[in-house]
Chains A and B, each alone.
Chain A
Amino acid sequence: MKTLLLIACLLPLSLPSQTGNGVPRGADGKPDFTGVWQAASNRRGTWEEANGTGIGGFVAGPREPAPYQPWAAKKVLESFNRRGIDDPVAACLPPGVPRVHTVGLFPMQIVQTPQTIVMLYEYLNAFRTIAINAKHPDVLEPSFMGDSVGHWESDTFVVDITGFNDKTWLTATGTFHSEALHVTERYTRTDPDTIQYEATMDDPKVLTKPWIFRTTIMRRDGTRLREYVCEENNVDRARYEELLKDESVFRRK
């Protein structure tokens, strides 16, 4: 009886800001993504609960090959065979999108207002500001994280990204792209813990058709983002220069 009373007391507080699946909503009635999250994971709970025995939780499943044009596929394969020694993030450069969501090692934070959604990534101190119902600027300087604008399709937040430079990888080792890259992201909060994330990558200069990347992004209450200054003591460039003197040391046979 006491429990029932307690529930009855709590209900009026929770109903106006939630729907049936328990997803909180903002003043505009849209799902509220505000909070700290972990991409490339499928485990619920706090950071420690989800990652305590190591880091991760994401089980890599079957995947379709990336639809690169034959000449471009050769380039991707070459990078794989050279074990990603040409990885831009090894030089501490921003990871690009959607690659930033393949990283399970670091948290991300989403701050949402009816006008803007801001995504802050601990990984390489990257960030994105996503203006809602806005247009891309007429003139875009090519950039690592691109220019993002968003709109709502029912309860899904859809982001259009363009204005990329050609210095990032799409997801896995060697998955290069051109400045013609166009990414469409879909964020759907299916329950309080989970965002279903889908990124469709289109780049007619290197791909034969759009390529889709999906992951879940999991809520991590209690985690705070910290500074991650990759340039502080990055020794990899010097090591790579040494290794590149004899590629047979690291090249896949």
Chain B
Amino acid sequence: MKLWRMVAAGAVLALPVWAHHSFGAEYDVNKPITLTGVITKIEWTNPHIHFYLDVKDKDGKVVNWKLEGFPPNVLYRTGWKREGTIKPGDTVTITGWQARDGGNWGHSRQVTFADGKKLFSGPPAGTGDGGNRPAVDAP
């Protein structure tokens, strides 16, 4: 076991791939968001789910946000059920990161339900962004 660890330390190690696409091209880890609002629609589809949320902005105007989440299979194994866990009309609070273009869409990380229960709905920050450094040294 010790030998394995020593060998592993000198070699390329897995940087887990969290999704099927580049998180970093679409979303900005430097734009964290926390949104409380009412669910208006859920797309429980592959490769990723999306939910839509009516959120009141600071002027009281309702804005509909689109938020991406894990694939259904991953959510299923994280404690979600297609029917019942989240449905239109539910008031929830969602944390995540906003899209790079500054629009009303983003990628979710966690959903807090009205009863206080929390479930992960997306990957941690920075994953799927190509990591913090490239696979090669700068040539």
Q: Which residues of A contact B (CB under 8 A)?
A: 39-40, 47-48, 51-56, 58, 60-66, 68, 70, 73-74, 76-77, 79-85, 87, 89-90, 92, 95, 99, 101-106, 122-124, 171-175, 190, 196, 211-215, 223, 226, 228-236, 239-240, 243, 249-250
CB pair A106–B74 under 8 Å, yes or no, is yes
- How far in angstroms is the closest Cβ of chain A from B133? 8
Q: Indicate the member of B14, B25, B78, B139 with the most A CB atoms within 10 Å.
A: B14
B30 to chain A, nearest CB (A): 12
Give the size range of B's interface with the partner: 35 or more
Binary contact readout B111-139 vs A (1 if CB under 8 angstroms, 0 otherwise): 00000000010011000111100111111
- Assembled-state Cα–Cα distance A40/B100 (Å): 29
Complex interface: chain B residues within 8 A of A103 (CB): 16-17
Residues of B with C-beta under 8 A to A47 = 77
Contact segment of B1-9, B34-42, B52-60, B83-91: B1-9
Contacts of A62 in B (CB 8 A): 9-10, 13
B80 contacts A by Cβ under 8 Å: no
A74 to chain B, nearest CB (A): 5
Contact with A along B88-111 (1 / 0, CB 8 A): 000000000000110000000000
Q: Contacts of A58 on B, CB cut-off 8 Å?
A: 13-14, 16
The reply to whether A233 and B45 form a contact with Cβ atoms under 8 Å apart is: yes
Instruction: Knowing A90-B21, A105-B74, say if A213 contacts B135 (CB, 8 Å).
Output: no
Complexed CA–CA distance, A171 and B135 (Å): 9
Q: Which B residues lie within 8 Å of A239 (CB)? A: 26
Cα A99 to Cα B17 in complex, Å, equals 9
Nearest 10 Cβ contacts at the A-B interface: A173-B130, A84-B22, A233-B45, A80-B134, A83-B24, A90-B21, A85-B25, A73-B136, A104-B16, A40-B14
Question: What are 6 A-B residue pairs whose CB atoms fall within 8 Å in the complex?
Answer: A54-B120, A56-B124, A70-B139, A105-B18, A106-B73, A243-B26
**Residues on A with beta carbons closer than 8 Å to the beta carbon of B138:** 73, 77
Contact of B11 among A105, A123, A124, A213 (CB under 8 A): A213
A240 to B20, CA, bound (A): 13
Known: A51-B78, A90-B20. A104 touches B139 (CB 8 A): no
If A124-B20, A250-B24 touch, whether A65 touches B76 (CB-CB below 8 Å) is no
Residues of A within 8 A of B70 (CB): 55, 105
B20 nearest in chain A by CB position? A89
Q: How far is the CA of A82 from the CA of B12 in the complex (A)?
A: 22
B24 near A76: Cβ-Cβ < 8 Å: no
Given A77-B139, A175-B135, A240-B13 contact (CB < 8 Å):
no
B120 contacts A55, CB within 8 Å?
yes
Chain A nearest CB: distance from B114 CB in Å? Answer: 22
Given A76-B135, A77-B136, A230-B47, A85 and B12 contact (CB-CB distance below 8 Å): no
Partner of B16, one of A73, A81, A105, A231: A105
Residue from A74, A87, A95 having most chain B Cβ neighbours under 10 A:
A87
With A66-B135, A77-B136: A213-B12 Cβ-Cβ less than 8 Å: yes
- Could you tell me if B136 and A68 are in contact, using CB atoms closer than 8 angstroms? yes
